[in-house]
Amino acid sequence: MQLQERINAFIKLGDFIRQFSNEVIQKNDKVEHNAIFFDGFKHQLKLAQEHNGWFTKENITFALNSWAAALTENNITQWLKPYTINNIQPKTVAVIMAGNIPLVGFHDFLSVLITGIMFWLSSPQTINNYCHFYQNI
């Protein structure tokens, strides 16, 4: 996958999570892959609140709102501008994320994937929660 394709995938991810970034979830029928992921993601947010006391609705909404604002074409392009990210040699990076704040490790996840490097997260369940959407774009 080329860099621009990865950028486009994260822009789509931003569009997707933007639907969940306000107090009231607002489904946007123009968002790609909603038929596949919208209901499942909504359910995962509910499970996250039940599973982890730190994952309050307010904390989750704040994290999603912050990432929805960050994952725009302009923001991603400006972020990557100082770097040369072409023809990276295949590598695998282990990412160990804390689990006490919603999306606390998302920047690490994004930083590895945007370069085209393969990654390995610290928990198979975390991989499913973070990557299911991304791998199908």
Amino acid at 85: I
pLDDT tens, position by position, for the chain (137 residues)? 889 999 999 999 999 999 999 989 999 999 999 999 999 999 999 999 998 888 999 999 999 999 999 999 999 999 999 998 876 777 888 878 777 788 888 998 899 889 888 776 666 555 455 555 455 55
Domain residues for 129? 3-135
Against a cut of 0.95, is the pTM above it?
no
Q: Are 115 and 84 in contact (CB under 8 A)?
A: no
4 phi and psi angles, rounded to 5 deg: -65, -35
Rounded to an integer, what is the distance from CA 26 to the centroid of its chain?
18
Domain count, the chain: 1
- What's the CA angle centered on 130, arms 4 and 108, to 5 degrees? 65
Contact at 8 Å (CB) between 65 and 99?
Answer: no
Cβ atoms within 10 Å, residue 44? 17
